[in-house]
C-alpha cells in the first residue's frame, strides 16, 4: 500500500471510494475497483470532477481577485495623481459544454461544429483612452532591462523586494515602482513578502496527468480506435482534442461551417463508440492521485496560499 | 520533456538590439502594436527560455493556435515555433489571460493574472498551444 496523502486530499479520495495501489505498468495507480469522482455516462465531459479540483481557483474567486487587483492598482496610481480605469472584462459565462477532451456533446456539435458556444470567435478588446506618458510610466514603470543572451531581467518577485529596488524613475516626487502600479497591485495581492507557489502549479499537475493518461495502454488503444472510426468517414486525424487543422479547418471562421459540423458530429459519435472520454477520465483521475501523493506538501501550501489570497481579496473588496 | 538544456543550447541566434517593455517607445499610445518584439501594456508575452529568457512573441489578442506563430524578438529561439515551445510568460495586460494545452482552448486550462510573469513548470509536462485574453470555455 502506498503512503496516504494527508488531510483534505486523503479525505477527498476516501469519500470518492478511491484506493491506491503501487504502480509499475504505466497504468494509473488506482485499483481496478476504484470509483472515479464522476460517472462520465451520467454527466457531460464538461461537468466531470477531478481530484485536483479543490486546489484550483474557481471562476468566482478569479473575479474577486481581479477586482481586488484593480483596486490595489488604483490605490497606487492615486499616489501619483492619476485615476486608474479598470479594464472592461467580458461578462462571466455559464458553464458551457466544451471540455478538455475536445468536442463531446452531440447537440452542441450538431449546431456549432467546432465553435465554442458563446465564445468563438471571442470578444475583442475595448478601446481605452490614450494614456499620457506620465500615466503610462506610473502604470507600467520604466522598461525592464535586457538580459544578456535575450529576454528580460526579472523584476522583483515580492512587494518587499520591490520596495527595496530603485526603478530609477520618479514621478510627482515619488519613486515609480519597478513594473509600475500594475505590478505593485499584483504583488500586494499575490506576493507581499514571499513568492508564492507557482500559480500554474496545479495546472502543471493536471497537464502532466492528462498527458500520462493519453499514453496509458487502454487510452492509447481507444485513441487508435477513435482515429479508425473517424477514418470511416474519410477524416484522417490523430488528435481528438484539437483536430481542426488536420480537418482542413484553418481558422475559427471555418469551425462552424457545414463541413465542420459534419466532422464534429462524427467526432462525438466516435468518442462515444470507443468510450474514449470515460477511459481517459478514469486514467487521468488515477494519475492525478499519484501526483497528489508525490507533491502532497506543495499542494498543501497551494491550498493555504489560495485561501489566504481569497481572504485578502475579500478584504480589499470590502466584502 | 520540453525545454531541455540541449534544445535550448541548440539555439545560437545572436542577440541584437535592446529589449524592453516598449513602454516608453509607445508612450501616448493606448493600443499596443502586436507582434513587434516589444512587450507593451495590454499585451501577453511568451518566451522561448525560462525566466523571461530568449526570444519572445508579444500578443495583443487571443491566439487559438500557437503552432502558426514564431518567436520574433532577437535572442535564442528567434524564428522557432511558439506552440508547445514556450518556457515562460509575462502578462502585461490589464486582464487575466487563459492558457490551454490544446489548440482552440482544448486540453487543460490555466489562468494568469495581470502583471504576473513566471516559468511554465519544468516539473510537469505542460505545453501551451493556445492563449486567450478571456476564458475560452
Lowest-confidence pick of A118-122, A196-200, B109-113, B118-122: A118-122
Name the A residues in 154-173 with CB < 8 Å from any B CB: 154-155
Instruction: Name the pLDDT band for A93 (thresholds 50, 70, 90).
Output: low
In this complex, how many residue pairs, one in chain A and one in chain B, have their CB atoms less than 8 Å apart? Answer: 224
Residue percentage of chain A with pLDDT more than 70: 85
Q: From start to end of chain A, where are the E strands? A: 170-171, 174-175
At A243, phi and psi to the nearest 5?
-85, 5
Mean pLDDT of chain B: 80
How many Cα neighbours within 13 Å face the side chain of A306? 19
Find the CB nearest B118 among A123, A199, A242.
Answer: A199
pLDDT of residue A216: 98
**Is A36 or B11 the better-scoring residue by pLDDT?**
A36
Kindly state whether residue B26 falls inside one of the protein's structural domains.
no
The answer to whether the CB of A290 falls within 8 A of the CB of A28 is yes
pLDDT of residue B134 exceeding 60, the answer is yes
Kindly state whether residue B67 falls inside one of the protein's structural domains.
yes
Number of structural domains chain B divides into: 1
pLDDT of residue A23 exceeding 70, the answer is no
pLDDT of residue B18 exceeding 90, the answer is no
**Is A16 or A107 the better-scoring residue by pLDDT?**
A107
Measured distance CA(B92)–CA(B26) in Å, rounded? 14
Instruction: Name the pLDDT band for B27 (thresholds 50, 70, 90).
Output: very low
Looking at chain A, which residue has its C-alpha nearest residue B120?
A200
Looking at chain A, which residue has its C-alpha nearest residue B53?
A151
Cα A189 from chain centre = 19
Kindly state whether residue B22 falls inside one of the protein's structural domains.
no
pLDDT of residue B13 exceeding 70, the answer is no
Measured distance CA(B135)–CA(B64) in Å, rounded? 12
**Is B69 or A121 the better-scoring residue by pLDDT?**
B69
pLDDT tens digits, A244-299: 999 999 888 899 999 999 999 999 999 999 999 999 999 999 999 999 999 999 99
pLDDT of residue A69: 98
pLDDT of residue A218 exceeding 90, the answer is yes
Kindly state whether residue B122 falls inside one of the protein's structural domains.
yes
Residue percentage of chain A with pLDDT more than 90: 73
pLDDT tens digits, A112-151: 999 887 665 556 787 788 899 999 999 999 998 888 888 8
CATH number reported for the structural domain that contains residue B47 in this entry? 2.60.20.10
Question: Three-state SS for A134?
Answer: helix
**ipTM of the complex, rounded to two decimals:** 0.88
pLDDT of residue B5 exceeding 70, the answer is no
Q: Which three cell numbers stand for residue B85?
A: 515551445
Interface contact flag, B28 A123, Cβ < 8 Å: no
* Owning domain of residue B60: 5-13+33-132
Interface contact flag, B41 A198, Cβ < 8 Å: no
Interface contact flag, A102 B106, Cβ < 8 Å: yes
Q: From start to end of B31-113, where are the E strands? A: 44-49, 53-59, 88-91, 97-102, 106-112
Residue percentage of chain B with pLDDT more than 70: 76
Question: Three-state SS for A307?
Answer: helix
Alpha-carbon distances, residue A176 vs A48, A148, A172, A187, B39 (angstroms): 46, 25, 9, 14, 19
Q: Which three cell numbers stand for residue B52?
A: 523571461
The answer to whether the CB of B80 falls within 8 A of the CB of B74 is no
At A99, phi and psi to the nearest 5?
-130, 170
> Quick one: chain A helix, strand, coil %, rounded to 5?
50, 5, 45
Measured distance CA(B51)–CA(A222) in Å, rounded? 38
Q: Which residue has the cell 459519435?
A: A269
Kindly state whether residue B27 falls inside one of the protein's structural domains.
no
Amino acid at each position: 500500500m502506498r503512503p496516504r496523502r494527508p488531510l483534505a486530499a486523503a479525505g477527498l479520495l476516501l469519500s470518492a471510494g478511491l484506493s491506491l495501489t503501487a504502480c509499475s505498468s504505466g497504468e494509473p495507480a488506482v485499483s481496478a475497483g476504484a470509483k472515479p469522482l464522476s460517472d462520465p455516462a451520467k454527466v457531460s465531459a464538461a461537468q466531470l470532477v477531478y481530484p485536483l479540483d479543490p486546489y484550483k481557483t474557481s471562476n468566482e474567486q478569479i473575479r474577486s481577485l481581479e477586482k481586488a487587483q484593480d483596486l490595489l492598482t488604483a490605490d497606487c496610481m492615486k499616489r501619483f495623481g492619476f485615476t486608474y480605469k479598470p479594464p472592461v472584462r467580458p461578462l462571466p459565462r455559464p458553464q458551457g459544454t466544451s471540455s478538455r477532451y475536445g468536442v463531446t456533446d452531440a447537440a452542441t456539435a450538431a449546431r456549432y461544429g467546432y465553435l465554442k458556444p458563446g465564445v468563438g470567435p471571442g470578444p475583442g478588446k475595448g478601446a481605452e483612452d490614450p494614456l499620457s506618458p506620465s500615466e503610462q510610466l506610473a502604470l507600467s514603470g520604466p522598461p525592464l532591462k535586457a538580459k544578456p543572451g535575450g529576454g528580460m531581467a526579472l523584476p522583483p518577485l515580492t512587494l518587499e523586494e520591490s520596495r527595496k529596488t530603485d526603478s530609477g524613475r520618479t514621478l510627482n516626487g515619488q519613486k515609480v515602482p519597478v513594473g509600475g502600479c500594475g505590478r505593485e497591485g499584483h504583488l500586494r495581492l499575490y506576493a507581499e513578502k514571499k513568492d508564492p507557489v507557482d500559480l500554474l502549479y496545479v495546472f502543471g499537475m493536471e497537464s502532466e496527468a492528462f498527458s500520462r493518461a493519453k499514453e496509458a495502454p487502454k487510452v492509447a488503444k481507444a485513441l487508435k480506435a477513435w482515429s479508425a472510426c473517424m477514418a470511416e468517414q474519410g477524416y484522417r486525424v490523430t488528435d481528438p482534442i484539437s483536430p481542426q487543422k488536420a480537418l482542413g479547418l484553418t481558422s475559427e471562421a471555418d469551425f462552424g461551417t457545414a463541413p465542420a459540423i459534419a466532422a464534429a458530429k462524427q467526432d462525438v459519435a466516435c468518442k462515444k463508440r470507443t468510450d474514449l472520454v470515460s477511459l481517459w477520465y478514469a486514467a487521468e483521475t488515477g494519475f492525478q492521485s499519484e501526483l497528489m501523493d508525490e507533491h502532497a506538501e506543495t499542494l498543501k501550501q497551494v491550498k493555504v496560499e489560495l485561501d489566504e489570497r481569497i481572504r485578502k481579496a475579500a478584504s480589499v473588496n470590502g466584502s | 520533456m520540453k525545454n531541455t538544456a540541449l534544445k535550448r543550447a541548440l539555439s545560437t541566434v545572436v542577440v541584437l538590439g535592446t529589449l524592453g517593455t516598449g513602454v516608453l517607445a509607445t508612450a501616448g499610445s493606448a493600443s499596443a502594436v502586436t507582434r513587434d518584439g516589444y512587450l507593451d501594456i495590454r499585451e501577453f508575452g511568451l518566451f522561448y527560455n525560462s525566466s523571461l529568457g530568449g526570444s519572445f512573441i508579444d500578443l495583443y489578442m487571443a491566439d487559438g493556435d500557437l503552432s502558426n506563430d514564431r518567436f520574433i524578438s532577437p535572442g535564442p529561439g528567434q524564428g522557432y515555433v511558439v506552440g508547445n515551445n514556450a518556457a515562460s510568460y509575462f502578462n502585461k495586460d490589464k486582464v487575466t489571460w487563459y492558457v490551454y494545452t490544446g489548440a482552440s482552448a482544448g486540453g487543460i486550462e490555466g489562468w494568469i493574472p495581470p502583471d504576473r510573469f513566471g516559468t511554465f513548470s519544468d516539473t510537469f509536462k505542460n505545453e501551451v498551444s493556445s492563449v486567450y485574453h478571456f476564458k475560452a470555455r
